[in-house]
Structure 1
């Protein structure tokens, strides 16, 4: 919901940093992988109860996620780069609720499983719409130039990371917070299915 609003704010510092990176041999895909492993470090920290350190690593992961796209736009995006970015993003997203389950399965197990289940709805509705948008030659640059169509919703990347921050700041409330955010994910999935029906019927 807020991704498009944040683009003008975050693009300037990301593009400035990316211009320095392209002077080196560091590739956009290497940044993508680096961010992914930092994200897994966040999940490992959370699973061990280091929630604030996990929050810092989540924030770092998101910086890397923005930088890889900025570097790719300067060097020329590739289909594999776009594919790798979205696959590793979804794996990272799922790793955080999984980490809270590992930390305390008896309390967080149901809510964590429900949230991962909900992510399947937002993820599949997002990717399926992108496939159909490509088939129908539908494009948008509202979230910056991307490798494929980005369909919005109530729970986009910004809201998901904000939820992760809240989880880390109040881990004892993860059960109820995860149920709430998972429910919002189902609202997003429903909105996207309706959008697909209106666009592709």
Structure 2
């Protein structure tokens, strides 16, 4: 949803200009992806330490800043990739890094209160797995099927929980630690709904063609 809005907004053009001026020819999109991955992993470690060390507030603020930086770098690597010309490996690396960061942060959040967050955390992972599986299955099937351009638009339509929505939820889960149980349940439900949306896309694309 937000990603769809962003793709048509002036903000995307502004980020593209920043990427062109500061990074193009100096650092590759893949290198930026690795930087974003490292920032995300440090963020997860900081969240984990926030429940162990006596500086919870300071560590939560630090983790939130690191998460925002990781997300911003993720947007920059996409802008640089479009300027350089996207590659298959670059797309795979970007998706792999995004999922590693998300999983690491959720694990860190669950570790702060395992007794109450373990079950909604497990459901979150199950929903993410289902969502990714159906997305990749549709992608593989689309490559094997000759579709009209108008039909491809259906496949690339945005779901309820995309990258930006996930970032916002993870940020809220980090900041508002007193309601993590409720937020994690809500996150799991929304990701599951996104998986159902993508399954409906599969039905529209393939069922009537068989």
Do both proteins adopt the same fold according to a TM-score greater than 0.5, normalized to the shorter chain? yes
1:2 aligns with 2:2: yes
Instruction: Give the equivalent residue in structure 2 for 1:172.
Output: 178
Instruction: Give the equivalent residue in structure 2 for 1:85.
Output: 94
SS at match of 2:4: helix
Alpha-carbon deviations, 1:141-193, whole Å to 9, x = none? xx9xxxxx744211111211111121122112111111111011111111111
> Once superposed, what is the RMSD of the aligned Cα atoms?
2.0
Report if aligned partners of 1:31, 1:67 keep a CA contact under 8 Å in 2.
yes
Report if aligned partners of 2:127, 2:192 keep a CA contact under 8 Å in 1.
yes
Report if aligned partners of 2:109, 2:174 keep a CA contact under 8 Å in 1.
no
1:185 aligns with 2:191: yes
Report if aligned partners of 1:90, 1:123 keep a CA contact under 8 Å in 2.
no
SS at match of 2:86: coil
Could you tell me which runs of 5 or more consecutive residues in structure 2 were left unpaired when the two chains were aligned.
Answer: 51-58
Instruction: Give the equivalent residue in structure 2 for 1:70.
Output: 79
Could you tell me which runs of 5 or more consecutive residues in structure 1 were left unpaired when the two chains were aligned.
Answer: 144-148
**Mapping of residues 14-25 of structure 1, within 5 Å:** 14-20=15-21, 21-24=23-26
**Mapping of residues 79-158 of structure 1, within 5 Å:** 79-137=88-146, 150-158=156-164
How far apart are the structure 1 equivalents of 2:91 and 2:30? 9
Aligned residues: 194
Task: Give the TM-score normalised by structure 1.
Answer: 0.88
Report if aligned partners of 2:36, 2:69 keep a CA contact under 8 Å in 1.
yes
Match of 1:56 among 48, 58, 65: 65
Q: Compared with structure 1, are the counterparts of its residues 111 and 125 closer, same or farther at alpha carbon in structure 2 (3 Å cutoff)?
A: same
Task: Give the TM-score normalised by structure 2.
Answer: 0.85
Larger radius of gyration between Structure 1 and Structure 2: 2
Instruction: Give the equivalent residue in structure 2 for 1:146.
Output: none
Report if aligned partners of 2:60, 2:174 keep a CA contact under 8 Å in 1.
yes
Query: How far 1:137 sits from its partner (Å)?
Result: 4.9
